[in-house]
Amino acid sequence: MTVTGKGNYGGTIAKTFTIAKATQNLIVTAPASVIAGKSVNLSVEGKGIISYQSSNSEIAAVSDQGVVDGVSYGTVTITVTAAGNENYETATETVQINVNLATPGVSKVESINGGVKLSWGKVAGAAKYRIFYKAGNGNWTKAADTTATTYTWKAAKSGTKYAFTVRCVSSDGKTYTSAYNTTGKSITYIAAPVISKVENVNGGMKVTWGKVAGAAKYRIFYKTGKGDWRKLADTAATTYTWKAAKNGTAYTFTVRCLSKDGKAYTSGCDTAGKSLTYVAVPALSSVSNNKAKTMTASWKKLGGVTGYQILYSTDKNFKSGNKAVTVKNASAVSQAISGLTKGKTYYVRIRSYKTVSGKNVFSPWSAAKSVKITK
C-alpha cells in the first residue's frame, strides 16, 4: 500500500501488511442419543466445506451429509470440521452421541402347557435379552437371560396375574444396552389341565383331570391314531364320560381351559394326551344250571374284542373265593363252567378284553347274575 501526503504534507511512503482471516464460530447441534438401526441428523453452521468423522464406525457411522447411523450400543465422538474460506479460518468441533438399542417390544404372552411363553421382536445390535416378571404391584424380578426371541417361564402359578418385560443386555450380562417397557405385558396364567385317568366305564370312556386354578371351564378333545384333535364337549366339571366311542378303537384325549363364553382358550394343552383303547362291557344275558354241577353263562357278542373273562364266586360281593375263566374266542357267546357244588348259589359277571401291544385292556365288569346249582 502507498500513502501520499496532501496539502501541507508531501511525500509518499509504501508499506506492506497482511489482513488475517477471521476465526469462525462453528456451531454443531446434535441429539444426545440415537437408537441402533436408526438415524439422526447433525445441524451445522459453519464456513466452507463441512466434513465429518466418527471415532468408531462400529458404534455409529456418519455420512458426508452429517447423517449419523446408530450401529451398536456405545458412545461415539463425531468430529465436525469446517474448512473455512478466504475470510474465515478452519474450525473443528466434537460432539458425543450415545447409541442405545431399541426397547424390546413384547408381542405376545400366552399360557401354554408347562408355563408362560413370551415372544418379542429381534432388536438390531442386541447381544442377548433379559426377561423380567412381576406379580401384582411387586418389583420386577429377573427370570432369565437368552439370545432367543422367545422364552417359556415355568415357575408361574395358575390363577395368578403376571406382567412381563424384556431388556437388552450385554453379552457378559453386566450392562443394560436398552431401555424397557415399565408397564410390561400382562396375563393371568392358567395352567394346562393334567389328565389323571382315562378309563373304560359302563357305557363309555371316562376322562378325569385335576381342577385348574383360575379356569372358568374346560374343553375336551379326542383323536384316533395320528389324526387331528376333535372337540368332544365343554364342561365346568373335572370329569367327562364319552358315550360314542367305538369298541376296540384306541383314543387319545386332552383337555384345555376355556373362557366362560367359550370363545377363547385360556391355557395350553398336553399335545401328547392320554390314550386308551375302548373296550365295552358285554351284556350278560343269563346264567343257567342245565347239567349236573355245571352252569352256563351266556352273553351278547361284541365286535372289536379279543375275548372275554368270566368271574364267579359264592360271595355276591366278590370279595373272596373268586375264580376266573378266560374265553379266548372272540366269537363265543356262552361258556359252560363245571365242577360246582350242588346246593350252592353262584354269582357271575363278565368283562371283555382287547390285546393291545401284548397287553390286555379290560372293560369294567358287567352287572352280576346268580344261579343256584340244583342238579
Residues making up the chain, counted from first to last: 375
Using one digit for the tens of pLDDT, what is the confidence trace for 187-207?
999 999 999 999 999 999 999
Which segment, 8-12, 123-127, 349-353, is predicted with the most confidence on average?
A: 349-353
In this prediction the pTM is 0.77
- Which percentage of the chain shows pLDDT scores above 70? 99
CATH number of the structural domain 27-100: 2.60.40.1080
In the block, cell 455420512 appears at: 63
* DSSP state letter for 314: S
Q: What is the pLDDT of residue 55?
A: 97
Q: What is the pLDDT of residue 10?
A: 72
Q: What is the pLDDT of residue 16?
A: 76
Using one digit for the tens of pLDDT, what is the confidence trace for 247-278?
999 999 999 999 999 999 999 999 999 999 99
| CATH 2.60.40.1080 domain span(s) along the chain | 27-100
Q: What is the pLDDT of residue 169?
A: 96
Q: What is the pLDDT of residue 39?
A: 95
Using one digit for the tens of pLDDT, what is the confidence trace for 79-96?
999 999 999 999 999 999
Q: What is the pLDDT of residue 83?
A: 95
Dist CA 242 CA 256 (whole Å): 16
Give the three-state DSSP class for 205.
strand
Residue 124 pLDDT > 90: no
Q: What is the pLDDT of residue 11?
A: 75
Query: Which residues, at least 6 apart from 137, have a Cβ–Cβ distance to it below 8 Å?
Result: none
Residue 136 pLDDT > 90: no
Over range 142-149, report the average pLDDT.
98
Using one digit for the tens of pLDDT, what is the confidence trace for 4-48?
777 777 778 777 777 788 999 999 999 999 999 899 999 999 999
Q: What is the pLDDT of residue 337?
A: 97
- Fold of the 284-372 domain: Immunoglobulin-like (2.60.40)
Using one digit for the tens of pLDDT, what is the confidence trace for 291-313?
999 999 999 999 999 999 999 99
Tell me the pLDDT of the chain averaged across its residues. 95
- Give me the residues paired with residue 284 across strands: 299
Q: What is the pLDDT of residue 201?
A: 96
- Fold of the 106-188 domain: Immunoglobulin-like (2.60.40)
Q: What is the pLDDT of residue 99?
A: 94
Confidence of residue 127 (pLDDT cuts 50, 70, 90): very high
Confidence of residue 116 (pLDDT cuts 50, 70, 90): very high
Q: What is the pLDDT of residue 125?
A: 86
Dist CA 151 CA 194 (whole Å): 22
- Give me the residues paired with residue 108 across strands: 119
Dist CA 338 CA 318 (whole Å): 19
Top-confidence residue, 166 or 136 = 166
Architecture of domain 195-277: Sandwich (2.60)
195, 215 contact by CB (below 8 A) = no
C-alpha R_g of the chain: 43
Confidence of residue 64 (pLDDT cuts 50, 70, 90): very high
| CATH 2.60.40.10 domain span(s) along the chain | 106-188, 195-277, 284-372
263, 234 contact by CB (below 8 A) = no
132, 164 contact by CB (below 8 A) = yes
